[in-house]
């Protein structure tokens, strides 16, 4: 099985590096100093148990790699439209999204014919939907955190899960093969028959604490332990829950218990706060705008989410660093 990690930064680099250490046929698409370092010295994986360096096949030109069995896309959501994965696609190539927010394939395979088109906030004009084809899609939910402290080095911070599932809900052979590859690489992988539930259960936290951390510059522990921020987070999380429930998904656990778990993360910074500090664009539409759009489609009002989104869009247009 040939696997390509398209967008091998922190999250993708952690996955690709572990696959390489496991002896799998994996290649990485990256760019800039990170790519130069990996090609010269290999990819160094760091974690609580120490560090290892692995030699990897890395390039910025997908045409050098040819068709793959699996393409795992781990670029930022704002870079999805420019992801040139065409040269990696064969007749049966599956495309897995390891990204934040509501995924581009979300409306594929739903009984409601609202499913006939992608969300505009995620895939404007349906460009990716048309170019790739939603029938190739396998959902992927990242259950780990990673950082890239310097080019060529990926630090796996915490967590070890990666849930996958078909948008149609079937337990397909290709999902079982992919789960086996991920498990061989050291991930705790579960094949879900309700992958949209996993999407919403992760969004319930990320769609709230990512934006709040970007606005306040506070880490997750500070936000979740502050009484005023907890009250605001609860209001936002109820809106996310209402939209997800109206869209047909189910949530596990209470809002209060989720905030309590986030409070234990201490000084950990959300991905959106890390992007602000690094001067990178924010994944606003995929993480927050998509929920507001979905709310309009299912008839659920999202006043607090709309307000936070409007403020963050202004912030994203200015450099407040």
Distance CA 40, CA 20 (A): 16
> Choosing from 2, 202, 234, 313, which is the catalytic residue?
202
Distance CA 143, CA 120 (A): 26
Q: Which two tokens stand for residue 121?
A: 């906030």
Q: What is the dihedral of CA 52, 54, 59, 62, to 10 degrees?
A: -110
Is 313 designated active site?
no
pLDDT tens digits, 210-235: 999 999 999 999 999 999 999 999 99
CA 276 to chain centre: 17
Maximum distance among all Cα pairs of the chain, rounded to whole angstroms:
53
Which domains are delineated in the chain? Answer: 2-193 (3.40.50.720), 197-316 (1.10.1040.10)
Q: What share of the chain is helix, strand, coil (3-state, %, to 5)?
A: 50, 20, 30
- φ and ψ at 272, to 5 degrees? -70, -40
Q: Which two tokens stand for residue 9?
A: 């930064």
Burial class (CB within 10 angstroms; exposed 0-12, middle 13-18, buried 19+) of 260:
middle
Entry pTM: 0.92
pLDDT tens digits, 112-127: 645 567 889 999 999 9
pLDDT tens string, the chain, 321 residues long: the values are: 999 999 999 999 999 999 999 999 999 999 999 999 999 999 999 986 678 999 999 999 999 999 999 999 999 888 888 899 999 999 999 999 988 999 999 999 876 645 567 889 999 999 999 999 999 999 999 999 888 999 999 998 888 999 999 999 999 999 999 999 999 999 999 999 999 999 999 999 999 999 999 999 999 999 999 999 999 999 999 999 999 999 999 999 999 999 999 999 889 889 899 888 888 888 999 999 999 999 999 999 999 999 999 999 988 777 544
Phi-psi category of residue 152: left, alpha or beta, with phi > 0 → left and psi -120 to 50 → alpha: left
């Amino acid at each position: 099985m040939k696997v390509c990690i398209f967008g091998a930064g922190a999250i993708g680099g952690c996955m690709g590096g572990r696959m390489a250490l496991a002896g799998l046929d994996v290649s990485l698409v990256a760019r800039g100093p990170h790519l130069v370092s990996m090609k010269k010295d290999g990819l160094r994986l760091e974690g609580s148990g120490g560090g290892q360096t692995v030699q990897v096949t890395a390039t910025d030109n997908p045409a050098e790699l040819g068709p793959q069995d699996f393409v795992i896309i781990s670029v930022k959501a704002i870079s999805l439209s420019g992801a040139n994965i065409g040269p990696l696609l064969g007749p049966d190539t599956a495309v897995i999204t390891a990204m934040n927010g509501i995924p581009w394939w979300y409306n594929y395979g739903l009984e409601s014919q609202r499913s006939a088109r992608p969300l505009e906030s995620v895939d404007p004009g349906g460009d990716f939907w048309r170019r790739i084809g939603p029938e190739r899609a396998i959902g992927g939910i990242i259950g780990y955190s990673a950082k890239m402290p310097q080019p060529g080095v990926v630090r796996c911070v915490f967590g070890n899960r990666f849930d996958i599932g078909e948008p149609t809900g079937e337990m397909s052979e290709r999902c079982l093969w992919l789960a086996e590859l991920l498990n061989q690489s050291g991930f705790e992988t579960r094949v879900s028959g309700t992958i949209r539930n996993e999407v919403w259960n992760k969004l319930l936290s990320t769609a709230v604490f990512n934006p709040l951390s970007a606005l306040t510059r506070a880490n997750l522990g500070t936000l979740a332990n502050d009484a005023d921020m907890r009250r605001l987070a609860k209001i936002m999380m109820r809106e996310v829950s209402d939209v997800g429930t109206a869209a047909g998904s189910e949530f596990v656990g209470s809002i209060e218990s989720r905030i309590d778990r986030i409070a234990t993360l201490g000084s950990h910074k959300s991905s959106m706060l890390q992007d602000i500090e690094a001067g990178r664009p924010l994944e606003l539409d995929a993480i927050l705008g998509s929920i507001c759009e979905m709310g309009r489609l299912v008839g659920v009002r999202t006043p607090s989410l709309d307000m936070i989104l409007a403020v963050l869009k202004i912030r994203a247009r200015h450099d407040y660093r």
